[in-house]
Structure 1
């Protein structure tokens, strides 16, 4: 079921409150969500207190140049993979000095899927350092907008959960 605007707003507000309470800043490194996670996080006035920014690295070239993802990693595993989102988190943290990063890379559709990585496959990672990063894959259903909405909500909730455990 796709995430509503209200659900996204709520998840973004909750994450913002956690970041403020812990005096942390967030950087997003997004591919298939196209900056939507950063958009939700910056919808609230005053969000500059906890959002450093967002990097939309849709192409492999951008992932390499802006986040330092290794070409070999992309060639070996593909953009939609655990190693790539882990490198996206590490690169986003190194580039910006933020306290926590979230990375999203997936196949939103309607095309681009394969047997191994069907439409709706999205890899996520969040962490506060290269050594302290979690990664998880999800398989969402629906059209492009529905997959992206679900991915944004999952990313926001994932970072919140990560902060609760820390």
Structure 2
């Protein structure tokens, strides 16, 4: 195998890309973390981003995922700080899936599924993280097309985790406006 200088430089550039935070996004601990999500809804999250940075994963109903690299918050939290969450939610069911053999039936089924997809965007407050270590960002997708975020390093299973919601949440008959 022949290794070229260009190949080595490209490898170094790719490896460094995720460890280099944006200038305005230095964290208190000097690094960044991943973009993760927890989906508390019956919908699939087909894709999502935080401030235009991809969360990478699609996330099933009542599940978690993510893994987008890298997200860091400014070293000092200030009142009024927000993040923009963009996402697409859609049906998670494969009910009625006709298989791939009959292409026309498959396309018709897919069209029905895609008709239920919905592109959403919401700007939400970034909770105060003063005096705390930050570990990227975790987005919680909630019923009624709502979201909450945290920069906590605690696991959602830990009592210190700041967002204490059940994984499986039901959509109310009427969503608050």
TM-score (normalised: structure 2): 0.25
Q: Larger C-alpha radius of gyration, 1 or 2?
A: 2
Greater per-residue strand proportion: 2
